[in-house]
Structure 1
Amino acid sequence: MSLIAEAPAGAPPGAARALLLGNFAIGCGVMVVAGSLNDLTRSLQVSVAVAGQLITAAALAMSLGAPLLAALLAGFDRRRLLTFALLWYAVGHAISALSPDYAWLLPVRALTMLAAAVFTPQAAAAIAWLAPPAARGKAITYIFLGWSVASVFGMPLHSFIGEALGWRYAFALVSALALAGAWAVWRSVPDDIRPPPLRLAQWREVLTHPVLMAMVAVTALSGSGQFTLFAYFAPIYRQALGATPVEVSLLFFWFGGFGLLGNVLLSHHVDRFGAGRAVNWLLGLMAVSILFWPLATSVWIMPLVLLPWAFAGFASNSAQQARLGSTAPELAPALMALNTSAIYLGQALGAGGGGAMVAANQALGQSPYAGLHWPALGWMLLAIALSLWVSRQVRRQRAAAHEQQP
């Protein structure tokens, strides 16, 4: 099995690869602050907690923007919409790289990340529209491999560039990647992809459906658990473990490498294994890592503690997208937008809550990251409980529908 899966059968392979590249650029941009957080705090002369609010502000913008922009832009041709989103992303990161101070960078960052709120869900909806129903789950998880590849190469590269050259160069790299993604999408995605726009009644159906909304809430809860810690990996590695810049980059590479492996395996087997069952197992693996977080007292032990989380983290988001797309394919555009919103809401809650705890620990004269894993574990256990409930409800609904068939 190759490291990067083959493009799914039935969907235009060039379009699938272009959307994967676009997601790679988007993923690199989302993670650039976390990867270069150490240099951001030094260069802009702000605390770790304040710098972490760049993650929170961007996540809130993406969370609020995803469903609103999905409704406003529903009628646009996806080739043009996705290309424009990546161009916006490229320009925004270029302006960010030139920002003179934190006060300028914060709003520019938030506005830039509206492009991610558009691209991620609309790319998923576009590939779901192009792929046949039997290959829809594989097609969606395939283009989300771009996020996993970003975690393999983007995070360690951002960290290394931030330490060696400065955070501005890391932002400039994201701008260049977004330009490449825009070119690939324009060149490869077919014209006139216009999934039927959802009527107000369909949005109402999604927002009032308890099982679908609970499914989306699983994403927000698990994201909160992950980003309570993940947003502060770079300073934890450097300050708590005493890691060198190269060791910090290698730890990010380790995390991303197993994230890619988990997503590749999911892409190959999600339609056979079942997206709902995959989500439950992957959330459990992440909870194991967070539970044993206090054991990670050195650079050599940390990779072992991270392993289950690394394997499951990015795959869980892909499995959630496939779960939503297969449960209610006719409502996929709205569900993908809401799920993207939930991803970023979780990031905002996790990064914001983690930053508040770091600031409180510093005010009390304690280690800044002491006890940070406990709220992370709490969020993750809530996600697992809700996901299991969703799985039971989906099974019951499918059994009831089967019984009603003649």
Structure 2
Amino acid sequence: MSVGAGRGGPGAGPPQAGPRPLGGPLGVPDERGARWALLSGNFVIGCGVMVVAGTLNDLSRSLQVSVALAGQLIAIGAVVMGVCAPLLAGWVAGFDRRRLLAASLAWYAAGHALSALMPDYAALWPVRALCMLGAAVFTPQAAAAIGHMTAPEHRGRAITFVFLGWSLASVAGMPIASWLGETFGWRVAFGAVSLLAAASAVWVYRAMPDGVKPAALSLAAWREAFTHPVLMAIVAVTALQSAGQFTLFSYFAPYYRQTLNATPAQISLLFAWFGAFGLLGNVLLSRHIDRFGAARCVALTLCLITLSLLAWPLATGFATMALVLVPWALGCFATNSAQQARLGLAAQALAPALMALNTSAIYLGQAIGAASGGVLLSHSGYTQLHWVGSVWMFAAIALSLWAGAHARRPQ
């Protein structure tokens, strides 16, 4: 029995309205168009989140700060997103999602444009922090909106489809950001994200239908979500695996340059390689998650990431690094997509809260990983990053298996 299926579980409560039929004549937006628009929004959000990691070399050089300090921009943005995603979810509950999602992307565009104009690190970090409020709103609310619009039997696939945008960001956005940063500087890369966000805001506004408002949750429902041990364990899995990945992922660009002596072109190629397999992993997940089950898919993706972290010392050159990255890339973005679908299927009545909490866990995990990685980098270089990341991943695997076992028990 799934979580919340029994009496008194998180799925209990007043019946939820079914998905509102979309589409029709006279150019009314349909569900398919909305899915693609939300995918584009997640692509832009992913590009903006990862632009710091992709341009870390030039950020450090041009702002005259250490790599470890420049990397804390990742942690700062992640803390803002992690803390604000659930808080803002309650505040925006009554907003029409068409206007809310378009406005959040417009805010994101303005924030990246202002960031590109900041003269030094002290001026940049608070602007960056405010900019990431757009990401704190968009990602969880896009997932909740598409889940509300989609029939239950297709909900898992719909949610993972819009999360393909993150994989596409790793395929195209991060390599391009890295190339722009190495060639023209980080300010150009930030400006490119701003233009993409503005275009995506227009697309989302035109493609989304009016009247999409997932049911607002009461304080009692939030309390129910926070106090359910299995659901909170699933959310904690997201935080643990995100911390494990970003302990090392945050510092890919300087690692490639300083340890592998990679050229700017090789750095961009490694990011593109990682992104291509990340996209493949998410596509495979989207096609098969409803058949194999979200919990099994999560276990597989976590094991793939852990395999790469354990094999990290074997990557002594460009070719061996490319091989070691493959399992990690296949699991990287697919893990977050599978976790969102897992929560959406476990307790649909609490989906808006759970999506926000899970998004918060993604970003808080990123903050923990980037911050702890920066501390390790300052004291012992790159040698310990993959081992610490592996410890986080083993904890995530153990907790995910526990949650899966308890979710199947009658409530």
Alignment-mate amino acid for residue 43 of structure 1? S
> Residue deviations 1:55-76, cap 9 Å, x none?
0000000000000000111111
Residue 261 of structure 2 aligns to a residue whose secondary structure is coil
1:17 and 2:36 equivalent?
Answer: yes
> Is residue 2:153 matched to residue 1:134?
yes
Correspondence for 1:267 = 286
The Cα shift of 1:360 comes to: 1.1
Aligned-residue offset at 1:332 = 0.3
Partner in structure 2 of residue 73 of structure 1: 92
| Structure 2 residue corresponding to 1:389, chosen from 402, 405, 408 | 402
The Cα of 1:374 is off from its aligned counterpart by 1.0
Pick from 387, 392, 395: which aligns with 1:374?
Answer: 387
Aligned to 2:220: 201
* Residue of structure 1 in register with 2:197 after alignment: 178
Amino acid at match of 2:279: L
Query: How many residue pairs end up in the alignment?
Result: 384
Work out which of the residue numbers 107, 117, 120 in structure 2 matches 1:88: 107
The reply on whether 1:144 has 2:159 as its aligned counterpart is no
- Structural mapping, 1:186-265, within 5 Å: 186-265=205-284
Deviations 1:201-257 (A, max 9, x none): 000000000000000000000000000000000000000100000000000000000
Residue aligning to 2:26: none
- Is the partner of 1:300 in helix, strand or coil? helix
Aligned 1:55-66 pairs, distance under 5 A: 55-66=74-85
Kindly, what percent of the aligned residue pairs are identical?
64
What root-mean-square deviation, in Å, do the aligned CA atoms of Structure 1 and Structure 2 show?
A: 1.0
Paired residues for 1:341-380 under 5 Å? 341-361=360-380, 368-380=381-393
C-alpha distance in 2, partners of 1:95/1:345? 24
User: What is the CA distance between 1:394 and its match in structure 2?
Assistant: 1.1
**In structure 2, what is the equivalent of residue 159 of structure 1?**
178
Q: Deviation string for 1:109-162 (max 9, x for gaps)?
A: 011001100000000000000000000000000000000000000111011000
Summarize the alignment of residues 17-36 of structure 1 with structure 2, pairs less than 5 Å apart. 17-36=36-55
Cα separation, 1, equivalents of 2:349 and 2:197: 30
What residue is the counterpart of 1:322 in the other structure? 341
Q: In structure 2, what is the Cα distance between the partners aligned to 1:15 and 1:312? A: 26
Aligned to 1:3: none
Q: Counterparts of 1:392 and 1:333 in 2: how far apart (Å)?
A: 24
Correspondence for 1:276 among 295, 305, 326: 295
Distance (whole Å) between structure 1 residues aligned to residue 382 and residue 291 of structure 2: 41
Offset at residue 297 of structure 1 (A): 1.0
Q: Deviations over 1:38-95 (max 9, x none)?
A: 0001100000100011000000000000000001111111011001100000000000
Aligned to 1:40: 59
Deviation (angstroms), 1:372: 1.2
What per-residue deviation string (whole Å, max 9, x for no partner) do you get for residues 338-387 of structure 1? Answer: 000000000000000000001112xxxxxx21121111000000000000
* Paired residue secondary structure (1:194): coil
Give 2:299's aligned amino acid: N
- State the Cα distance separating 1:258 from its structure 2 match: 0.1
Partner Cα distance (1:384, 1:340) in 2:
19
User: What CA deviation, in whole Å up to 9, does each residue of 1:8-60 have, x standing for no partner?
Assistant: x9871110000000000000000000000000011000001000110000000
The one-letter code matched in structure 1 to 2:292 is: F
* SS of equivalent residue, structure 2 residue 319: coil
Aligned to 1:365: none
Structure 2 Cα separation of the partners of residues 375 and 236 of structure 1: 16
- Deviation above 4 Å: which 4+ runs of structure 1? none
How far apart are the structure 2 equivalents of 1:32 and 1:330? Answer: 35
Q: Secondary structure of the residue that 2:318 maps to in structure 1?
A: coil
Q: Which amino acid aligns with 1:391?
A: G
Q: How far apart, in 2, do the equivalents of 1:224 and 1:178 lie?
A: 27
| Residue ranges of structure 2 left out of the alignment (5+ in a row) | 1-20, 23-29
Shift of 1:391: 0.6
User: How many Å apart are 1:395 and its aligned residue?
Assistant: 1.3
Counterpart-to-counterpart distance in 2, 1:323 and 1:207 = 16
Any stretches of 5+ residues in structure 1 without a counterpart? Answer: 1-8, 362-367, 402-406
Partner of 2:130: 111
In the alignment, residue 314 of structure 1 is paired with which amino acid?
F
Instruction: Please report the TM-score for the alignment, with normalisation by the length of structure 2.
Output: 0.92
Q: Secondary structure at the match of 2:124?
A: helix
**What CA distance in whole angstroms lies between the structure 2 residues aligned with 1:12 and 1:322?**
18
C-alpha distance in 2 between matches for 1:358 and 1:385: 27
So what's the TM-score if we normalise by structure 1?
Answer: 0.94
